[in-house]
Structures are given as structure tokens and as C-alpha cells.
Amino acid sequence: MSALETPVLRAADFRKISALAREKFGLNLPEGKEGLVAARLARRIREGRFRGFEEYFRWVTADQTGEALTALIDSLTTNHTSFFREPAHFDFLRERAAGEFRERPSLRIWSAACSSGEEPYTIAMTLLEAARQTPCRWAGDVQILASDISTRVLDKARAGVYEAARFDQMPEERRRAFLLKGTGARQGWFKLKPAVMDLVQFERINLIGPLPRRAFLFIFCRNVLMYFDRLTQQTIVARLVECLEPGGYFFVGHSETLSGMEHPLSYVRPATYVKAGRRGV
């Protein structure tokens, strides 16, 4: 196939790709999404010089490293994110961390589809700011688990280096507190300071696979549920809630909702839920 030709997605190709994406990642690609699949995968087919979708599919399923599958999911989902995206959640986190949770000896937080790291680093900055304003007992013991299915975005997240434009909306004071400005070949880039990066541990976790055996006080599960069908969403939420402490908070994206779904959470405010039960100290 030449660099200019557009590969043709036949109905049989679409069915195979959509079944594979569902089996491996829980991704929902019902009929009607053919255009999306064709557009998103065309570049991979051209760049890999495959003769078409069938050959590409055979290559993905034969690859033992798992990298081809990861690249496939990367093409089918978006990794769009930003620092302080949907800021109401971070205001809420700041309030609770410095309020009802102020006397806790530690804080454990999970960013469960962290993309390139902006979300967990925002959590870290929020907590550092909160502890600077109000003395909090947990200040010396914060752990933020940040996970995603995509190794590509996780590598970027671990590096903690971003183009300056990513911070355009960030107040100068916050930039000075948390960012190191690149010089020379690194001009136009910022790196997060160690104080921010040290609070975050990255791991590759597929939300439909084994989940951490730890309990978290806050779980951020934002802008990822939209990729799954309703039943898979419900299963994922139920499994994530098992990782949430009683009295802990669960966030979804503001364009997502848990309404109409069976789950043991109570609504607090838009895109914010709490797990019933008594909080540990």
C-alpha cells in the first residue's frame, strides 16, 4: 500500500478489530464506529506498510510483546488531558484534604487512567499547596498511584517534561513553586520539580484486568468510562469501588455519570461520589 492510498475496512475486518478491542481492553466499538476505526488505524497501516486491515490484524494478534496491541488501543482512544482539567475536583480535593482528612497520618490516591501524567501531577501540586496553607498530619506521607493501559503515555508521564504551552493557563506563582524551566536544548520545555514527581508512582494497569490490592481515599476515574459499554462501565466501577476506603471519594469526568448504574456510591456533587461507611483515621 502506498503512503497515499487509504486502506479499505471491510465489515469482517471491523468485526475482528472490535472483538479484539473488547476482549483485551473492554472497548466498546459497536456498528457505526467503522469510520472512526478506519480513520484512526489508517496511519498505522500505511506506516507499517501492511497490505490492508487483514494483514495488520494478523500482525497485531501474532505479536508476543503486546506492543502492537498497546499501539492499537492508543490509536482507538484519545489521551487528551491537561493540568488542572475540570478544576472543581481539585478544589474539592484541597478542601477535604485540609479539612475532614487533615488529621490522617497518610493519604493514598489513585489516578486510574492518568494518560501522560497531567492529572496525577495536578493532584500532587494540589496537596502540596494544601499542606503549605494548612498544617496537615499526612504531609509527609502522600502516595499517588497513577496508571494507564498505554505504555507510550506512561513513559511520557514518568519523564515529567512538558512543552511550556501546557502551562499557559497556570498562575506564575504556581509555576515558580513547581516547575523547572528548561535551558539550552530544553528551552521551551518545563520539568516538574522532584517534590511533585516524588509523590507519584506510575504503573501499567488495564481497568478490565487485575487491580491493585490497596485501599485509596480518592479515586480519579475521569474521562475513560466513556470508552466502555454500560455493563463494562458498571463492572469497572464496582471493582474500583472495592479499592476505595469507606468514606472515600470517587470522581468521574464531568461529561460522564453513574446515574442509571447499580453501584454502592452516593452522589455528592457533579461527577463526585462517596462510598458509604465509617472512615478510618
Which residues would be at the binding site for ligand SAM (CB under 6 A)? Answer: 25-26, 77-81, 85, 113, 115, 119, 148-150, 153, 206-208, 222-224, 227, 253
* Integer Rg of the chain from CA: 20
What's the CA gap between 225 and 32, in Å, rounded? 19
Least Å from the CB of residue 12 to ligand SAM? 24
3-state DSSP call for residue 113?
Answer: coil
Which three cell numbers mark 192?
A: 516538574
- The catalytically annotated residue of 40, 204, 239, 279 is 40
Does the active-site annotation cover 158?
Answer: no
Q: What is the DSSP string of 33-88?
A: -HHHHHHHHHHHHHHTT-SSHHHHHHHHHH-SSSHHHHHHHHHHS-----TT-STH
Q: Cell 494497569 maps to which residue?
A: 205
What's the CA gap between 62 and 122, in Å, rounded? 39
> What are the helix (H) ranges across 106-261?
118-133, 151-159, 172-178, 194-197, 230-242
Question: Which amino acid is residue 113, in one-letter code?
Answer: A
Task: Let me know: does 246 contact 266? Beta carbons within 8 Å.
Answer: no
Interacting residues of 111 by C-beta distance below 8 A, sequence separation 6+: 119, 120, 123, 144, 145, 146, 147, 220
Residue in the shown chain whose Cβ atom is closest to ligand SAM:
81
Least Å from the CB of residue 8 to ligand SAM? 27
Q: Which is nearer to ligand SAM, 127 or 225 (CB)?
A: 225
Among candidate residues 71, 89, 86, 91, the one with its CA nearest the CA of residue 24: 71
Least Å from the CB of residue 113 to ligand SAM? 3
Q: Which is nearer to ligand SAM, 98 or 223 (CB)?
A: 223
Task: Let me know: does 226 contact 255? Beta carbons within 8 Å.
Answer: yes
Does the active-site annotation cover 269?
Answer: no
Q: Which is nearer to ligand SAM, 61 or 78 (CB)?
A: 78
Strands 161-163 and 189-192: antiparallel
- The catalytically annotated residue of 13, 44, 108, 148 is 148
What's the CA gap between 182 and 24, in Å, rounded? 39
Residues annotated catalytic, as ranges = 40, 148
